Structure 1
Amino acid sequence: MESLKAIQQKQKVVFILGATGTGKSKLSIDLATRVPAEIVNSDKIQVLKGLDILTNKVTEEEKRGIPHHLLGVLDPEADLTVSDFCVLACCAIEAILEKDRLPIIVGGSNRYVEALVDDEKVGFRSKYECCFIWLDVATQVHHSYVAKRVDEMVSSGLIDEVRDVFKPDADYTKGIRQSIGVPEMDKYLRLESEVNEETRKELLKEAIDEIKDNTCKLIHRQLEKIHRLQNRPGWNIRRIDATEVFLKGGKEALVLWEKIVLEPSTKIVEHFLYGNTGCDDAPARYY
């Protein structure tokens, strides 16, 4: 494959946008197996160490050897500001480009991504050309999937994981305890040793239902932000509809993922990198 540096006139960066639970991490890893790339996490909670189940961090096996930056690297008590993120992300991007690889920025913290790209103090657009891919899923299908994912997290050890970071006097507005799933478990963890089994079950169900509800509210806010960005100059966001994948299961879902998500996304990225024009001029039939 021809060197990226040899064909790029301006340094290029790909962004994978989307609400939580749409498959952004999987798409970024799949793309990074097709073009020489490394991944930069832009989820403000996943930058922090800990709560790997609750925050749905990709595992070493899921990474498939693709280097990930800003994933579980800061102290759980750290309060990562937008400015902090921009500095860290720019350093990671430069390090990736120095290795002649494509930076793929992926995560659900759209406010952080917006600041990185558009803040004049950062000067991002003066250095880089951007390609934005939005992985989307129909609302009801998405909410149903997220509810099932929360149940799977509970089965995988979410309760014990949250118990390990629980503090009666914790500040739920800072650090890792901001994560959806920690404040919601507060009442259950405070009372679990003081009430009978039936009440414990009721408290736990209430906590889990609240986690699901607050996750759906987060999804709504994330989508509102993406829609706002979509209408701004310079944010030509390419939408990939993954709904059909989420409606299926097993091998059929894998086939559909390849057909309606990965192949169109690969074409977008390849056109962005190797075409004569930018991402904005990629063939419209794919999006």
Structure 2
Amino acid sequence: MEMEGDSLRNPNGVPNQKGESRIANSKPKLVVIMGATGSGKSRLAIDLASLFPIEIINADSMQVYEGLDVLTNKVPLHDQRGVPHHLLGTISPMVEFTAKDFRDYAIPLINDITSRNHLPVIVGGTNYYIQALVSHFLLDDSLEDTDESCLGETYGDKQQHIAVMPEQGNFSYSYDSLKDLDPVAANRIHPNDHRKIRQYLRLYACSGVLPSKYLQEQTMENWGNADSLRYNCCFICVDASLTVIDKYVEQRVDQMVDSGLLQEVYDIFNPDADYTRGLRQAIGVREFEHFLKAYLSVGQSGTENGIIDQVSAVKYVEKLKENMNTVLSTAGEDPLKQLLQDAIDKVKLNTKRLVRRQKRRLVRLQTLFGWKIHYVDATKCLSCLSEESWTVNVVEPSIQIIKSYFDKSTHLVPDFEASNDTKGSKLIDRDLWTQHICKACGNKVLRGAYEWEQHKQGRSHRKRVCRLRKSGVSGLDD
């Protein structure tokens, strides 16, 4: 279906056949479809392509990598319906693809798409990728990419004495080191977020500026109003209630297991792997580590006890790979079955945590950075999985949002209204990671109320509590 009006056929002011440009010298127009994992962002973008000349740029930090198609929930080729997709499964799984890398890849793609009179649509839940693209400043998720010239321009004359931290020796790039140096910055991140901890500490090593101070001043300077953004953006968020998304996540993980998730993880399993880089960071990889170690240990003992031919051994290992799903149907209290079920439960729990982080970021983009995000509610659609409900509640409102966006030819990102001081305090004064200790689970440390509540509801925790209470141990949390 063709779009109505020159502004829709020529969305970014590219000259038409008469050599005229309707919005010359304006910023390129960009539609950004955001939302939590499982909300239906990709589906919406593909549906919109029936009305607008769309090309999709993937902004999911795990879907950019080649491999693990089931685990990362990439849109299969037959479901893309001929809509061009960029940065989908094209990056080597062994490299670290940063927000800066995404920006540097996406900008030329956007220029190329607009040169063809097509509309670039950014689709993904990795909001710091989107921030890096539309802003001229790489926010805290990419501090490792902040070059020294940028630091010099901002602080070069102000910071004459820089206390550079040692790169070698006994210094530890740990959460405790960051907390001792800058407790405000430490309270902004999870203690296990080792990559960001290193980024913050390296920032201080290069500049002598506390990360919290740098983030506050740079954010106020570079995110002050809509004119600071690189593009004229239309932000659409596919939203749904947490209760419905949680249920949908559980169903989707079970479907992934049935569709070959275990076999994918088996293929890339390496007990000595670095889980902080590349594709192995994906939720659903590390969670299966204990199960795979135990499962492969059983398999190796089988090859040692009766298989001497190398070809037969390879076939035996392949059979092990194919039969992993059957562990779930094992009768009784099988240890492997329990390990596998625990791993699947962890994938579900960690995905739910991701959903909450994504939702918090979206709120932050609105309240702190002033982005005008248009929400479309997919709650009913995810509940009943009705095509008609999806069209009425998600697709049609999105079409009207985009049409209005072109008709008005205005920025959909308002200026800041609050003062810098207020926003700065919102940015840095937050502690989301209150510590809880579970005595029943070996003094396991949990961070945040949600993580603590989800842990207490977990099957393994409840079994341990029940077992300990039967043995007479008191003072345990339910």
TM-score by length of 2: 0.56
Map residues 203-222 of structure 1 onto 2, 5 A cutoff.
Answer: 203-222=339-358
Q: Which moved more, 1:186-195 or 1:138-147?
A: 186-195
* Alignment partner, residue 33 of structure 2: 16
Superposed structure 1 runs of 4+ greater than 6 Å apart: 121-124
* Alignment partner, residue 62 of structure 1: 79
Cα distance in structure 2, aligned partners of 1:208 and 1:191: 15
Provide Cα deviations, 1:217-249, integer angstroms capped at 9, x if missing partner.
Answer: 111111110000011455100111110111113
Cα distance in structure 1, aligned partners of 2:255 and 2:357: 24
The aligned amino acid for 1:267 is Q
Q: Which moved more, 1:152-161 or 1:234-243?
A: 234-243
Aligned-residue Cα RMSD (Å) equals: 2.0
Cα distance in structure 2, aligned partners of 1:188 and 1:8: 58
**Aligned partner (choices 148, 152, 164) of residue 255 of structure 2:** 152
Cα distance in structure 2, aligned partners of 1:120 and 1:277: 22
* Alignment partner, residue 284 of structure 1: none
**Aligned partner (choices 64, 70, 80) of residue 47 of structure 1:** 64
Map residues 125-274 of structure 1 onto 2, 5 A cutoff.
Answer: 125=228, 127-194=230-297, 198-249=334-385, 253-274=386-407
**Aligned partner (choices 43, 47, 54) of residue 30 of structure 1:** 47
The aligned amino acid for 1:271 is S
Deviation at 1:279, TM superposition (A): 4.0
> Do the aligned residues in 2 keep the contact of 1:8 with 1:273 (CA within 8 Å)?
no
- Equivalent pairs, count: 278
> Do the aligned residues in 2 keep the contact of 1:15 with 1:132 (CA within 8 Å)?
yes
SS of the counterpart of 1:130? strand
The aligned amino acid for 1:261 is V
Cα distance in structure 2, aligned partners of 1:64 and 1:7: 31
**Aligned partner (choices 91, 95, 100) of residue 83 of structure 1:** 100
The aligned amino acid for 2:252 is R
Q: Which runs of 5+ in 1 are unaligned?
A: 282-287
> How many percent identity over aligned positions?
44
Q: Which moved more, 1:111-120 or 1:124-133?
A: 124-133
Deviation at 1:201, TM superposition (A): 1.1
Cα distance in structure 1, aligned partners of 2:138 and 2:367: 22
The structure having more radius of gyration, on CA atoms, is 2
The aligned amino acid for 2:246 is H
Deviation at 1:128, TM superposition (A): 2.1
Cα distance in structure 2, aligned partners of 1:211 and 1:102: 35
The aligned amino acid for 1:30 is D
Q: Which runs of 5+ in 2 are unaligned?
A: 14-20, 140-221, 299-326, 415-478
The aligned amino acid for 1:135 is V
Greater RCO (CA < 8 Å, at least 6 residues apart): 1
Cα distance in structure 1, aligned partners of 2:387 and 2:269: 38
Q: Which moved more, 1:203-212 or 1:116-125?
A: 116-125
